[in-house]
């Protein structure tokens, strides 16, 4: 459990946006702005945040679908950002993605069997009968049956399609699986089935998960440790128990308070955050959360708080608790 | 009269190449004045078709309201002709949708869009309509509302667009508002703002609300009564506190157990969620008997033969289940 699998250091990703026709005005979106993150073998690291906080970009960079502006990503102690060619191909065998939308992430013109087996062909792993057998096995592992191999995505329900996406991710025996909102497009009853499947697969194949979601209930149920992101930065990170019991950061508290509780006798605390998430084009100075923060102090306007240990490995970036 | 809306035995069916889909099949619900009725269910259970039937916005063909009555404050909506219904819609009954981006006109300014309905229904001049539109935007908490009048939808965030939709829906002080998954496309902190806004506006404007959602948490926070729908039928119907303290239908129980709750983060990470096995049945070929039989943990012989009726088990608490007979 304590072996480091992935070590992200000082990761930044800036997107340049040209606004205005011909004027050539350029502005910078700081999608990821200095993220340090460690993922250990066999654990599930949950990454929560609202839309636009950079969580998806982080997942895409880790899988090298996107190149960062600066920083390093060490996978088994090697900086994967320096990889190219054969090395990169090998790395991608080890890191696989599960996507949010089971409708748009499967090629509608390929059969389920072809989708799941495609990567085996690309990496030249198994051939002919053996590959067929492996694909059929994978289908069964994710709870589909081998008779469905010849069917096309439109013949499956949303939950079944997500199972195909999971089988595809598992085909190459990866060590790290990045699941980007894997259940948000699914109905409640199907969501629970997929979450259980992900847990079973983790135990069976020794998988490590980077589990990205906006749903605090789902993340709490799935993760060992949880990192909360706001405007491209991690503002709090700790094990799941203390995140829900003793949240430090006012943003985490507000997120937790905003989740509707399925119990009418519990009245939600009205610390409803005012305003919207600021644009990452011109993020607020100092602590990026200060315009929405109910506990703002003068220092928050100018000086950005660091992510510090508040005791017992509970990290938070907030002046209030310093 | 106590209730503002009374739906009786409503059946809305769709004729398709593969046969008849009974999207809403014998639904009876009521909305009391000033209350919010929550309608919960998963995709395809008929909750949106129910709302569209009340609005008389079912595309015909392929859809058809086969039978039933929809009484709105003493008027049978199903007996109205197109013109009469059009006058009611927007003024007396309004609706907000899940995707605030798709429901606003991208090439019209926000102010003009909100003012349009006001001008149409209240016969106000362009200037007065805009004035009223500004009032409405301020009422729903739109920051710098005056400048926002001139904005186009793409210049606003999802939460602000939903505020515009709510301002538009409430601009004529309707007696009933239907909200179809109004917060599903929004982030949690914005969702909380919009739920509070709907609750507050209900008080201020005195509108009754039908709130459609798949999220039991939203129901608990915003509704007084709830109807749980499954495969076109209401399977449980009661006050919200009864629903959560004493769920009677196995589907309702299953929904509650399968939702990960932040109040109950398990100590053991290996703990699995209790699931409802299988998937929603195909509406083209529903099984004989109870629609939920294939997924039910306590299915009995009779469930496969005869369909249970929606019956009052405890006063004010109706359930459609043989186990409760």
ipTM of the complex, rounded to two decimals: 0.84
* Angle of CA points B248, B250, B253, to nearest 5°: 75
Q: Which residues of chain A are within 8 Å of residue B267 when distances are taken between CB atoms?
A: 241
Task: Give the residue from A80, A277, A63 showing the smallest Cα distance to A178.
Answer: A63
Contact B2/A at CB under 8 A: no
Q: What is the pTM of this model?
A: 0.89
- Which pLDDT tens digits describe chain A residue by residue (322 residues)? 469 999 999 999 998 887 666 666 778 888 999 999 999 999 999 999 988 888 999 999 999 999 999 999 999 999 999 998 999 999 999 999 999 888 889 999 999 999 999 999 998 888 888 899 999 999 999 999 888 999 999 988 888 999 999 999 999 999 999 999 999 888 888 899 999 999 999 999 999 999 999 999 999 999 999 999 999 999 999 998 899 999 999 999 999 988 888 888 877 666 568 777 777 777 888 999 999 998 999 999 999 999 999 888 999 999 986 6
Residues of chain B with pLDDT under 70: 1
Subunit contact A257:B274, Cβ cutoff 8 A: no
Quick one: how far is CA A283 from the chain centroid?
22
| pLDDT for position B279 | 83
Q: Which of residues 40-59 of B touch A (CB under 8 A)?
A: 42-43
* Residues 6 or more apart in contact with residue B31 via CB below 8 angstroms: B3, B4, B5, B6, B37, B176, B208, B209, B210, B225
Is the Cβ–Cβ distance between A98 and A166 less than 8 Å? Answer: yes
Q: What is the CA radius of gyration of chain B?
A: 21
| pLDDT for position B1 | 54
Q: Sign of the C-alpha dihedral, residues A273, A279, A285, A287? A: positive
Q: Residue B105, Cβ neighbours under 10 Å: how many?
A: 12
Q: Which residues of chain B are within 8 Å of residue A268 when distances are taken between CB atoms?
A: 192, 221
Subunit contact A187:B265, Cβ cutoff 8 A: no
Could you give the CA distance from residue B113 to residue B102 in angstroms, rounded to a whole number? 14
| pLDDT for position A189 | 86
* Residues 6 or more apart in contact with residue B287 via CB below 8 angstroms: B281, B293, B294, B304
Which residue from B minimizes the CA distance to A160? B279
Could you give the CA distance from residue A175 to residue A93 in angstroms, rounded to a whole number? 9
Strands A225-230 and A44-48: parallel
Could you give the CA distance from residue B23 to residue B232 in angstroms, rounded to a whole number? 5
In angstroms, what separates the C-alpha of B189 from chain A's closest C-alpha? 5
Is the Cβ–Cβ distance between B156 and B105 less than 8 Å? Answer: no
Q: Which of residues 250-279 of B touch A (CB under 8 A)?
A: 254-256, 258-263, 265-267, 269-277, 279
- What are B72's strand-pairing partners? B5, B75
Q: Where do the DSSP E strands lie in A247-322? A: 308-309, 315-316
Scan for tokens 């998963």, then name that residue: B42
Which among A255, A263, A270 is the nearest to B189, CB-wise?
A255
* Measured CA distances, B121 to B51, B172, B176 (Å): 22, 7, 16
Which residue from A minimizes the CA distance to B192? A258
| pLDDT for position A1 | 47
| pLDDT for position B103 | 85
Is the Cβ–Cβ distance between A212 and A181 less than 8 Å? Answer: yes
Could you give the CA distance from residue B116 to residue B107 in angstroms, rounded to a whole number? 14
Is the Cβ–Cβ distance between A125 and A173 less than 8 Å? Answer: no
Which among B43, B158, B196 is the nearest to A272, CB-wise?
B196
Q: What is the H or E stretch that residue B236 is in?
A: strand B233-239
Enumerate the H helices of A142-276 as residue ranges: 158-170, 188-205, 216-222, 240-245, 250-258
Is the Cβ–Cβ distance between B322 and B262 less than 8 Å? Answer: no
Q: Which residues of chain A are within 8 Å of residue B226 when distances are taken between CB atoms?
A: none
Subunit contact B255:A189, Cβ cutoff 8 A: yes
């Amino acid at each position: 459990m304590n072996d480091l699998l992935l070590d992200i250091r000082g990761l930044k990703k800036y997107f340049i946006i040209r606004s205005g026709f011909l004027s050539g005005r350029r502005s910078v979106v700081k999608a990821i702005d200095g993220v340090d993150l460690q993922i250990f073998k066999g654990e599930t690291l949950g990454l929560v945040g609202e839309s636009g906080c950079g969580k998806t970009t982080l997942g895409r960079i880790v899988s090298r679908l996107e190149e960062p502006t600066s920083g390093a990503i060490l996978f088994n102690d090697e900086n994967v950002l320096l990889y190219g060619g054969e090395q990169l191909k090998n790395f991608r065998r080890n890191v696989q993605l599960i996507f949010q939308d089971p409708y748009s992430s499967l090629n509608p013109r390929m059969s389920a069997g072809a989708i799941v087996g495609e990567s085996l062909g690309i990496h030249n792993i198994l051939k002919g009968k053996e590959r067929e057998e492996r694909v059929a096995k994978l289908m069964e592992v994710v709870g589909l049956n081998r008779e469905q191999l010849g069917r096309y995505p439109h013949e499956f329900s949303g939950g079944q399609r997500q199972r195909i996406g999971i089988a595809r991710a598992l085909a190459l025996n990866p060590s790290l699986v990045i699941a980007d909102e894997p259940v948000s497009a699914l109905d409640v009853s199907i969501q629970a089935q997929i979450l259980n499947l992900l847990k079973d697969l983790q135990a069976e194949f020794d998988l490590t998960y980077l589990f990205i979601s906006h749903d605090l209930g789902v993340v709490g149920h799935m993760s060992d440790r949880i990192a909360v992101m706001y405007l491209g930065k991690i503002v709090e990170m700790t094990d799941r128990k203390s995140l829900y019991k003793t949240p430090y950061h006012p943003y985490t508290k507000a997120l937790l308070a905003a989740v509707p509780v399925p119990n009418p006798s519990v009245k939600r605390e009205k610390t409803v955050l005012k305003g919207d998430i600021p644009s990452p084009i011109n993020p607020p100075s100092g602590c990026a959360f200060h315009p929405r923060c109910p506990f703002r102090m003068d220092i928050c306007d100018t000086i950005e708080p660091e992510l510090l240990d508040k005791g017992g490995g509970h990290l938070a970036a907030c002046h209030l608790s310093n | 009269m106590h209730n503002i809306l009374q739906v009786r035995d409503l059946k809305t069916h769709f004729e398709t190449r593969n046969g008849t889909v009974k999207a809403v099949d014998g639904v009876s619900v009521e909305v009391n004045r000033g209350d919010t009725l929550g309608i919960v269910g998963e995709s395809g259970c008929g909750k949106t078709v129910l709302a569209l039937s009340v609005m008389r916005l079912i595309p015909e063909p392929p859809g058809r309201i086969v039978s039933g009555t929809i009484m709105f404050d003493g008027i049978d909506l199903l007996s109205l002709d197109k013109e009469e219904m059009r006058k009611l819609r927007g003024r007396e009954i309004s609706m907000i949708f899940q995707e605030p981006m798709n429901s606003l006109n991208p090439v019209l300014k926000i102010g003009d869009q909100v003012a349009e309905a006001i001008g149409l229904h209240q016969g106000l001049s362009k200037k007065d309509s805009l004035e009223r539109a500004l009032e409405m935007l301020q009422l729903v908490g739109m920051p710098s509302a005056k400048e926002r009048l001139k904005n186009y939808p793409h210049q606003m965030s999802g939460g602000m667009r939903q505020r515009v939709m709510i301002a538009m829906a409430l601009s004529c002080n309707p007696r009933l508002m239907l909200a179809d998954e109004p917060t599903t496309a929004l982030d949690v902190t914005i969702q909380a703002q919009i739920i509070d806004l709907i609750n507050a506006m209900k008080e201020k404007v005195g509108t009754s609300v039908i709130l459609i959602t798949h999220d039991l948490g939203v129901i608990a926070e915003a509704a007084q009564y709830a109807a749980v729908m499954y495969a076109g039928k209401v399977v449980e119907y009661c006050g919200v506190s009864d629903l959560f303290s004493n769920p009677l239908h196995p589907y309702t129980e299953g929904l509650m157990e399968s939702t990960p709750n932040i109040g109950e983060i398990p100590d053991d990470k290996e703990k699995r969620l209790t699931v409802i096995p299988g998937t929603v049945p195909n509406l083209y070929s529903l099984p004989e008997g109870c629609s939920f039989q294939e997924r039910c943990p306590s299915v009995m012989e009779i469930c496969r033969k005869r369909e249970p009726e929606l019956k009052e088990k405890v006063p004010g608490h109706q359930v459609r289940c043989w186990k409760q007979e």
